[in-house]
Amino acid sequence: MTEKDPPSELIGYARVSTYGQTLDAQLAQLKAAGCARIYREKVSGVRADRKELLKMLKHLAVGRVVVVTRIDRLARSTFDLFAIVKQIADAGARFRSLAEPWADTGTSTGRLMLARSRATARGQHMGRPPALTPQQQAEARQRRAEGATLKELARSYNVSAATISRLGLLMYDKI
């Protein structure tokens, strides 16, 4: 934040699933974190018509930060979480979870972690590409079942024994 940036306005969101539960602990944590306004509701996270959540999303603006005690208070699924966080970001606001410090869209780490989680949810592979093709992996499993050692398999595919072992072929290992 530079000297010209206005201070962030913290907006809290608290939710419990049933009327037998209480919001007290969440409210105390959000107030202690400095939330100026707290939207609260007692409704299942599965429901799409969470009135207070929708009201909060409608009133977001640049410089505001949506704060929750835990991610599961905001969303019940990864898909739902990303949709809500996208709405928050599209409004120019930020998102932060008190219990999961990595989930803070105001930090580069938080944006990276959320982007990686989003990619994983879409089924994208993160990291280096596999050393063996799916066909080679199936062939290695078959050969292992027929008695080939990890060392033999690794040599024949020009990979390390560790690469072969990650295929789940450690049973009956006789290197």
- Write out the catalytic residue numbers: 17
Q: Say if residues 111 and 82 touch (Cβ distance below 8 Å).
A: no
- Residues 101 and 108: beta-carbon distance below 8 Å: no
Specify whether the CB–CB gap between 126 and 120 falls below 8 A: yes
Q: What is the C-alpha separation between 65 and 110, in angstroms, rounded?
A: 14
- Contact criterion met (CB below 8 Å) for 45 and 78: no
Of 62, 58, 64, nearest to 11 (Cα)? 64
Determine the 3-state secondary structure of 146 from DSSP.
Answer: coil
